Structure 1
Amino acid sequence: CANNANVNLFGSVTAGATTGAWSSSGSGTFSPDSLTLNATYIPSASDTTIGNIVLTLISTNYGNCNPVSDSMVVTITSQPIVNAGNNLFVCNDNNVNLNGAITNGNGTGVWTTNGNGTFSPNDSSLTVTYIPGSNDTIIGTIVITLTSTNNGNCLPVSDSLIVNFTPRPLVNAGSDLTICSNDSALLAGTVSGSSTTGYWITLGNGYFYPDSSNLNAYYIPDSADIANGSVYLILTSANACPVSDSVLVIFQQVPVVNAGPNQVICLSQNQVILNGSISGSTNTGIWSTLGTGTFMPDSVTLNATYQISSDDSIAGTVNLILTSTNNGVCSPQSDAMQILITPVPSVNAGADTVAC
């Protein structure tokens, strides 16, 4: 096995000679030397990587005879790889869920602890529950070790994890939020008690700024979040046993305002019929003018009539602005249209004439 790879040799040379020399197809060494028939072969790192080497014993001091040799193949198997899992924070009143893994070798192992708890259903299942003993939570920290078994020629391999028992922290993700769909959500999470740190995750596709470990981060939604209309964000305590709380972020559609197309009218015309529209989270708005005219019947009618003033006519142009109202959490949105006032055309067909 790779972690127990030294090979004890038991060569023999008889009849015409009693001495011999060992050689290897690999790059290991013989101890105490290659002339000792019962030497120990110490594989090199390259030998264990290759996995197979040939050791050859050839007779020496053979007189008038030709040298005779014999070979053996040494197969070096991979050592077990054991993973007990990551270190854990566990609440004082919770059990510990373990999910170990052993590859190579026979794939079996046994759990042990320096605490006084027990393993369920047993200590030889890789996926087990550790039930803390009375002293474990008092001490606060224990080590749980997974060791490979049925190792064959390999030495046992172990891996350990540290379990930290802590009181249950208090986690508050904050109140549910309603924000405009073109805005970001300012979060107000708190973690107190056995920890003051935590991290955010989203059940949507947005991201946290400056990062997910900032309890007062901004959540930047993406288009899929907005299309869904809402998203849940989850705050979980860190550096203590994990406790979570969630907050719902609801997206209100930003108002879409259209004041209508620009219009060109004649100087003799003193009224313009408007055709504004507002959609999204509101359908109400108010007209304003950069001129001095008035709106009929009022400025909150989207298809109002604009009464041109004499100052508007003199100026030749006037800009009208439609702004959304009843916007909820969204900022007012505006759109403008222009009225161009042109002089009345002067037409002269010429003097009357008589033709034969």
Structure 2
Amino acid sequence: LGSPFTAPFNTNNWSEFFETWNSGASTTATICVVNQNTTTGGNDFALDDITFSTFCTNTAEVTVTVNPEPTADAGPDQSICVGETTQMAGSGGTTYQWVPPIALADPSNPNTDANPVITRTYTLIVQDNIGCEATDQMTLTVNPLPQANAGPNQEICIGESVVLQGSGGTVYQWSPVTFLDDATAQLPISTAVGTITYTLTITDNNQCVNTDQTTVTVNLLPDVDAGLDSMICENGTLTLQATGADTYLWSPLVGLSDPQSANPEASPLSETTYFVTGTDVNGCVGLDSVNIMIFGVAANSGDYIICFGDSVQANVLGGVTYSWSLMEGVSEPASNNPILSPEVSTSYTISVTSAFGCLAETEVNVEVLTLPIAGFTAEFDPSCDGIFARFDNLSGNAQSYFWNFGDGITSFDSNPTHTYEVGPGNIITLVAYNNDSLCVDSLVIDYSGQSFTNDSIQVEYANIFTPNNDGINDCFKPEVEGRFSECYEFKVYNRWGALLFEAVAGQNHCWDGRTKGGIVVPEGTYYYISVVRGMDHAGYVTVVYQ
């Protein structure tokens, strides 16, 4: 009638119990009692007063609706850095609860802000609108900040550089970037000119960021002063005076009593510039120098060169009193800048005394050069184009020349020639130079009182000549006073009118008694025609060989 059941078990005691079956339409029942005690003996189980009764039943129907669980979603796992805040991303229900609620701004908000300091796993419990629940988890990993280290504070002297010593990250950024060679380098070089604090921002592989600072102190250089430039007497001594630092080193060592003293004794034998290096308590170094002059005098030019008859003004510097050893040719022997006018090359010694009693000497040498002597003569001849002038240079002790012909034309030739227009003469000047044009002489001759013309030309012709090569009267041509070779023509014919010889302008040669073919003509009379500067002339000449 139903499923088996186990009767209550009580030791040495009776117990009432009941069980209900639904027999349906059956009116009989069979009861089977099974002893389940298999480990002990005796009368272990008994039934008494078994009573059967019936009861009526009725049935009814009810509908039970089983709703699905909500889909809880706690969002993806996230990573943050210590000190950061992130927003959770829960979803899937109508009410929410984050567990544990530690470091959450609102545990009942699915999108609450979270900022734990250690890694945590959060469980999100969600309920839908009928009370069904579901859960999901997410892990929020909290990464530690990198150990930013900007390095120790450092000190430098102005003008120096220092390497900043950053560490702790994979990406570096220094600020400010002022005076840094690379603000993104781990070890940048700073050339700061004033004290400055740098902030190092580093980023690690988790993109976590941290900062640190370091200060670069820039110390000023010591204001080292080596003292004023000074002058001492020859073989004298001077105490140098250095200030502005804590330790000193002088150089060069020559003439110094103690190069590491602030106030060494200096005894230089010649003008010397001493340099002092001063170091302060910060190790910064300053430099200065002092010039020590040995009292002496100097001429503005120790040597002068003048031409005979000239003078020069000397100039000796450095003292308060002066004395020239030679007085001849010296305008003021007690002056530092007298006029010197020697007639021969001379060496002067000047004794000079300083304001503090030092005595020194210097020398002035004057070399006297001989003068050139200008001289010339001139010859003037009428010519085709005007008046031809030839100059004979008679100058002595000269090296170069300059001619001014008086009509705007000049020349540097030694013995020039020049053609003037006809008319009054000119004033002619010759300038002679020697010693690289240092010394000069000139000569001026005035020819303006003379008049020159080429209008009247005298031409003479021989009536006989003997071309027998004896050197006497061997050649026949017009004889003209002046230079007209450029403007004359000369032709010779035989009695039959054959042209035997011809000379045209510029050739300036004569007939030697031969034909154009070089054949000696026989004795006899020959006809000639000449044209000199437009003046025609014709005549006869006889050739004789005896």
- Which TM-score applies when normalising by structure 1? 0.38
- Which TM-score applies when normalising by structure 2? 0.26
- Structure 1 or 2, whichever has the larger Rg, is 2
* Structure showing greater relative contact order (alpha-carbon pairs closer than 8 Å, 6 or more residues apart): 1
**Which structure shows the higher helix fraction?**
1
**Which structure shows the higher strand fraction?**
1
